[in-house]
Each structure stands twice: as structure tokens, then as C-alpha cells.
Amino acid sequence: MRRMRPFTSGAIALAVATVIFVLPFVFIALQAVKSKSEASRLDFTLPQQWLFWDNLAAVFQARDYQLVLAYFNSTLITVVSVTILILLSAMVGYVMQRRKTRWNAVASGALFMGLMMPPAVVPTIGLLQEIGLFKTITGMILIQVAYNLSFSILLYRAFISTIPRDLDEAALIDGAKPWQIFFRVILPLLKPVTVTNIVVQSIAIFNDFTNPLYYLPGKENVTVQLTLYNFQSMYTSQYNLLFMNILLVTVPPLIVFIFFNRQIVAGMTAGAVKG
């Protein structure tokens, strides 16, 4: 009897979890391959015709290939802002962890504020207009860097404390200049936390909806999440295409998840618990 319990409770948990966590994704996939009239019933039946490729093509062609542009923009924003984020936050995390000055208190305060406070949106729009970066990809990239710095620095600071200072001193004695110690010795050693950071931040930035909604309006700047949002109001009669779009937006995080499952989990918990 007792030996059966782990299996039984596990089987029940598995069944419940499957219903709760898998069904919505099955639902998305089912609607995405149906015809327009079948999808409009919004039910849980198998499609009579599987229209995967037709729907895929239709979604990509919609409104002059807007989704292609959106994928390009989202990818560009994600790649560039994550690259800048990694570099800047590793530099800050390194000096914050190693050198105790009164600037540390300032930096810690700013870090805490960045984790807690929502951005003041309209003043930011005013400022972006002033410096000519409103409605530009460059502006969006810098905003993503500014908003995600705190969390990124937190991850680096925690990790750098595990690297012995002896290494810095050895490099110094060998005649390395301060910037060389960081770029040649420390930065390569940060690889595990850098991978975590890349994965976590790219998912966050790729999935971001609110910031592009405010700072990046306009057709030519559309991002993947904004396309989906616009689709929602434009294509309520074509649920098959709407769900094909949702499916396409879900795929990139799924791929990242399959490859980096362990790093994501480690990074999320490290950043959350130590912070």
C-alpha cells in the first residue's frame, strides 16, 4: 500500500497538471491548424482539414508581410540590447563586488530602485522626443538596457563574489592593466552566469509588450508582441490566423527553453533568492 502512494499521487498530480498546463497549449495548436469556419467555433475538436501551411503562409503575408518585419525588429532589439546589457552589467557587477567605495551605496540604491519602481512613462516619452529617440529602434534598445540593468547586475555581482581575488592580483603582478584584468581574465570566467543572463534577458525582452507599446508606436517599428496585439482587434473573425500567430510567438521561447532549461532555472533562482 505505502509503496503505491508515490506513484498514485504522482499520477493524479500528472493528470491534473496536464489538464491545467497542457490543454491551453493544445488548444492554441488546434485552432492554428483549422479552417476559418471551424476555428470560429472555438471548440476542442480535431480539424477536418489540417491547414498548417496555409495558415502559416496567410499569417506571414498579412498586411504586407508585417510579421516578417516584426520578427526582424524584435530580433534586432533583443540581440543588441542583450549584448550591451551583458557588457555594462558585468563591468558594474565586477567593480561593485571588488572595490568598496561610497559609490557602492549609490549604486546599490539605484539597483534597488530599478528592481522595484515602475518607469515613469510619459516623462520618458517626453525625454526621448527631446533627444530624438522616440519611435526609434535605437531608443527602444537603450530603454531595454536601462530597465533590465538592475536584475542583470544582481546576477553578476552574486557570481563574481565566487571568483577569488588572487586571480586579479596575479594578473596585476604580471603587468596587466586594470581593463585588461577585467576583459582578459574575469569576463571569460563569467561565462556560466553570462549564458544565464543572455537566456533570461532575451526571453524577457522578446516577450515585452508594454515598452514597445509606449515607446515604439508606428507600423515600420512593429515588434512581434505588438503584431499579435494588433491582430487581436483586427482578426477576431479569423481565429485560425490569430492562433497561428500566437503559436509562432510561442515557438522562440520554447526553443530557448529546450536548449537552456537548466541555465534558466539556475539563473532565476540565483537572482531571485540572493537578491
Partner 1 sequence: MTETRLRSRKSPYPLWFFLPAAAVYGVLFVVPTVSSLWFSLTRWDLSSAEFIGLENFRQFFSEPFLVKGLVNTLIYALTTSGLKTICGLLLAVLLTGNIFARGFLRTLVFFPVLVSTIGIGITFTVMMHPTKGIINAMLETLAIPGPGWLTNPALALFSVALVDLWKGVGLATLIFIAGLAAISPDYYEAARIDGATRFQQFWRITLPLVRPATITVITLSLIGGLRSFDLIWAMTRGGPGFSSDVIASVIYKQYQAGFYGLSTAGNVILFALIAIIILPLTVWLNRREVEQ
Considering the complex, state which of residue 8 and residue 48 has its C-beta at the smaller distance from partner 1: 8
Taking the complex as a whole, the smallest distance from the CB of residue 53 to partner 1 amounts, in Å, to 21
Neighbours of 93 (CB within 10 A): 25
Tally of CB atoms within 10 A around 27: 15
Q: Is 37 in the site for partner 1 (CB under 8 A)?
A: no
Cβ closest to partner 1, residue 123 vs residue 188: 123
Task: Rule CB under 8 A: choose which of 116, 164, 175, 191 binds partner 1.
Answer: 116
Distance set, CA 42 to CA 31, 32, 59, 127, 239 (Å): 7, 11, 19, 45, 8
- 126 is a contact residue toward partner 1 (CB under 8 A): yes
Report residue 16 as a C-alpha cell. Answer: 491534473
Stretch near partner 1 under the rule CB under 8 A, chosen from 48-56, 60-68, 189-197, 222-230:
222-230
Candidates 79, 114, 163, 195: give the one binding partner 1 (CB under 8 A).
114
- Contact between 57 and partner 1 by CB under 8 A: the answer reads no
Among 57, 210, 218, 259, binds partner 1 (CB under 8 A): 210
Q: Is 18 one of the binding residues for partner 1 (CB under 8 A)?
A: yes
Residues 14, 105, 167, 170: which binds partner 1 (CB under 8 A)? 14
Q: Is 9 in the site for partner 1 (CB under 8 A)?
A: yes
22 DSSP 8-state letter: I
Interaction of residue 151 with partner 1, rule CB under 8 A: no
Interaction between residue 47 and partner 1 (CB under 8 A): no
Determine, following the binding rule CB under 8 A, whether residue 68 of this chain makes contact with partner 1: no
Q: How far is CA 103 from the centre of its chain?
A: 30
Give the residue, chosen from 33, 82, 86, 94, that forms a contact with partner 1 under the rule CB under 8 A. 94
Closest CA to 195 of 73, 40, 77, 86: 86
Q: How far is the CB of 239 from partner 1 (least distance, A)?
A: 7
User: 118: helix, coil or strand?
Assistant: coil
HSE, side-chain direction, 13 A CA sphere, residue 257: 7
- 225: which 3 cell numbers? 508582441
CA distance 242 to 39: 10
**58 grid coordinates:** 496567410
Return the H-helix or E-strand segment holding 233.
helix 224-234
Task: Point out which span in 46-54, 60-68, 119-127, 188-196 binds partner 1 (CB under 8 A).
Answer: 119-127
